Amino acid sequence: MTTPMTITEKILASHAERDAVSPGELIEVNVDLALANDITAPLAIRVFEELEVEKVFDREKIALILDHFVPNKDIASAEQARIMTEFARRHDIKHYFDLGDSGIEHVILPEKGLVVPGDLVIGADSHTCTYGALGAFSAGVGSTDVGVILATGRTWLKVPSTIKLEYEGRLRQWVGGKDLILYTIGLLGVEGAAYKTLEFSGEVAGKLTMDQRFTMANMAVEAGAKNGIFEPDDMARAYVNERAERQGTYFYSDSDAVFEKVVRINVDDIEPQVALPHSPDNVCPVSRVDHFRLDQVVIGSCTNGRIEDLRVSGEILKGRKVARGVRLIVIPGSPDIYKKAIQEGIIETLLEAGAVIGPPTCGPCLGGHMGILAEGEKAISTTNRNFIGRMGHPKSEVYLSSPAIASASAVLGRIGSPVEL
């Protein structure tokens, strides 16, 4: 008799070479892809070198992406990039991405077909959970852990219990994946899913585009989750078949799988959501946000820097102008997305509206560069975190929203909805 399991448990069991696993168990697993960026890779590389092994476990199962402080913003960031570049050359890392070919790590890896359903992906970045959109188990860990994985191809994980989220009803205009995940984080709290799986399901989740699924899985960690995951369907299969050389393994939760709890969310009355300072769970409908003057709007990041996000912004900003005194910064998530946005006329529309377009990079999301806030400034952003000092001065304020709300706010000069335009 087989043990009923969730999709996450099945993926973990397969990578632990076991028939079954259960929540709370500590297991050793094989890693399909290990990744690190220009901030986290140098420490991982140092740990790897301290182990005194000659070769990485598999040069084709490691991804090194320059995306946080690039183009290099100062000497320190240039040195970090150099360490990573030299390591990639020394070990002939197949999936090493530098300027021109690079972009935001959690955008380009699925885009380049490096993650498929059923994979186990570990990254030295908390938003590695993004790949759950494809039906993969993906989670962020510390650089030390990734350093050991570079040498061994294996790591230890505790099997998380699963919270099943069932989204039902009909989405209102301008409400999408970003609004659903913000609403959910507001419901659960930033520690409400600590070291648990968030399994996104229900009729509404099944109709979301891949770009919106990436957004939701990306922000699972903001509720404390170890991973977020969708069961792979025909849409995921089509996405993978168009990009990947591997087919992947399609796992699904058993009908009698045991969940820690099931949360049913009716979306009928959910408005576009905004997370107020200074936490992603400090959420309210856009209609209830106070009117105050904005200084900056950011559209981009591993959460909302995909082509669908730029299309929404282009639709709202076409024939309109950014409000005087507001800086609108738009950052495509990858060179491919940038190119598509040019071909579709979106970049021209954004420039005519008064936007500044940045190269594919994390940029201001983590207070890196190209959009740092001064004392007292207020910004609305499509990024994933709005902690104190996240985007600059500790006395600045960051509000989180979808690209639709951010774009409308750029025109209004305050936080508002496209329906106001």
| 37, containing H or E segment | strand 33-37
Q: At CA 16, angle to CA 10 and CA 19, rounded to 5?
A: 55
Buried b (16+ CB within 10 A) or exposed e, 48-66: beeeeeeebbeeebbbbbb
Whether this model's pTM surpasses 0.95:
yes
Cα separation of 415 and 421, whole Å? Answer: 12
pLDDT of residue 2: 87
Strand-strand pairing, 162-168 and 154-158: unpaired
3-state SS assignment for residue 167? strand
The answer, yes or no, to whether the previous bond of 291 is cis (omega within 30 of 0) is no
> Where exactly does CATH 3.30.499.10 map onto the chain?
7-264, 275-415
Q: What pLDDT tens digit does each residue of the chain (421 aa) get?
A: 689 999 999 999 999 999 999 999 999 999 999 999 999 999 999 999 999 999 999 999 999 999 999 999 999 999 999 999 999 999 999 999 998 999 999 999 999 999 999 999 999 999 999 999 999 999 999 999 999 999 999 999 999 999 999 999 999 999 999 999 999 999 999 999 999 999 999 999 999 999 999 999 999 999 999 999 999 999 999 999 999 999 999 999 999 999 999 999 999 999 999 999 999 999 999 999 999 999 999 999 999 999 999 999 999 999 999 999 999 999 999 999 999 999 999 999 999 999 999 999 999 999 989 999 999 999 999 999 999 999 999 999 999 999 999 999 999 999 999 999 9
pLDDT of residue 45: 98
pLDDT of residue 104: 97
CB-CB contact of 198 with 223 (8 Å): yes
CATH number for domain 7-264, candidates 3.20.10.10, 1.10.940.10, 3.30.499.10, 3.30.9.90? 3.30.499.10
CATH number for domain 275-415, candidates 3.30.10.20, 3.30.499.10, 2.60.40.10, 3.90.1150.10? 3.30.499.10
pLDDT of residue 106: 98
Beta bridge partners of 265: 167
Q: What is the CA radius of gyration of the chain?
A: 21
